[in-house]
Amino acid sequence: MAKDVEGPDGFQTRDYEDPPPTPFFDAEELTKWSLYRAVIAEFVATLLFLYVTVLTVIGYKIQSDTKAGGVDCGGVGILGIAWAFGGMIFILVYCTAGISGGHINPAVTFGLFLARKVSLIRAVLYMVAQCLGAICGVGFVKAFQSSHYVNYGGGANFLADGYNTGTGLAAEIIGTFVLVYTVFSATDPKRNARDSHVPVLAPLPIGFAVFMVHLATIPITGTGINPARSFGAAVIFNKSKPWDDHWIFWVGPFIGATIAAFYHQFVLRASGSKSLGSFRSAANV
């Protein structure tokens, strides 16, 4: 994928620069306004994400419930729900990318932490902000329509009837792998060097990845791939079934993010091979 660029001495050099790994523990960040601004941005973005998406889910269930005056084919349908999740990720990543990196998902934050793109302090604060934002977002939905919220499942993630735990876990692992792999690809410094005139486009494939995964896994788990989303809904809905299955929506996404980080860093970008100084296709990969 690397381009050959003539250096000043006529040798081949790279047209991109890998940023240095983020320090594992960067206490100095705590003195910077930009960290707190980023944490606020993650909180607000996750709040808006959960508010709009869970509201869409509840609205769809109301309008398609024939026993309560709804109609067949009422509401936005599963396709509309998938669009709500994917589209919100697109616009929120677009809005927050320059402020916080636009994670809006603890699994994404965890994957980027493993790849040394964010420090431990930033990762932990982001995850806390995301979870609190998710709770508040779902809280708003419940506050605005309490009876509908309780009657129609609260937007909570749990295993659908007919699927076992292994299936649900695998769906979450693979779904999160797709998402986090897309995030790594969209934020790759190689790609940025090539697409430097279109950084606005990075959120689009990320949003589409979320959309596609929802199309595939809504029937299985309601689609988690975002522990904050699952946690916020579980906290506010607070029923035993979502809590019983809740571990799936943390373990699955974190495993998926780990695999994606490993795949991107050590296979596609061959960090391991580079450090060994061997087995590279070219000196400038």
Contact positions vs other proteins (CB under 8 A): 32-35, 37, 40-41, 44, 48, 51-53, 55-56, 59, 62-63, 71-77, 79-80, 83-84, 87-88, 90-91, 94-96, 98-99, 140, 143-145, 148, 197-201, 203-204, 207
Of the pair 143, 160, the CB lying nearest other proteins is at 143
What minimum distance in Å lies between the beta carbon of 29 and other proteins?
Answer: 9
Torsion-angle region of 21 (φ positive above 0: left; ψ -120 to 50: alpha; else: beta):
beta
Could you list the beta-strand ranges (E) of the chain: 5-6, 12-13
Tell me phi and psi for residue 13, to 5 degrees: -130, 175
- Rounded CA-CA distance 108/184 in Å is 9
CB of 98 to other proteins, least distance (A): 4
What value, to the nearest 5°, has the Cα angle with vertex 83 and ends 46 and 181?
65
Rounded least distance, CB 88 to other proteins, Å: 5
Give the Cα separation of 100 and 200 in Å (integer).
Answer: 15
Closer to other proteins by Cβ: residue 64 or 217: 64
CA-to-CA distance for 213 and 253, rounded, in angstroms?
12
Query: Could you tell me the smallest distance in angstroms from the CB atom of residue 258 to other proteins?
Result: 28
Q: In the complex with other proteins, which residue's Cβ is closer, 155 or 252?
A: 155
Q: Which is nearer to other proteins, 67 or 197 (CB)?
A: 197
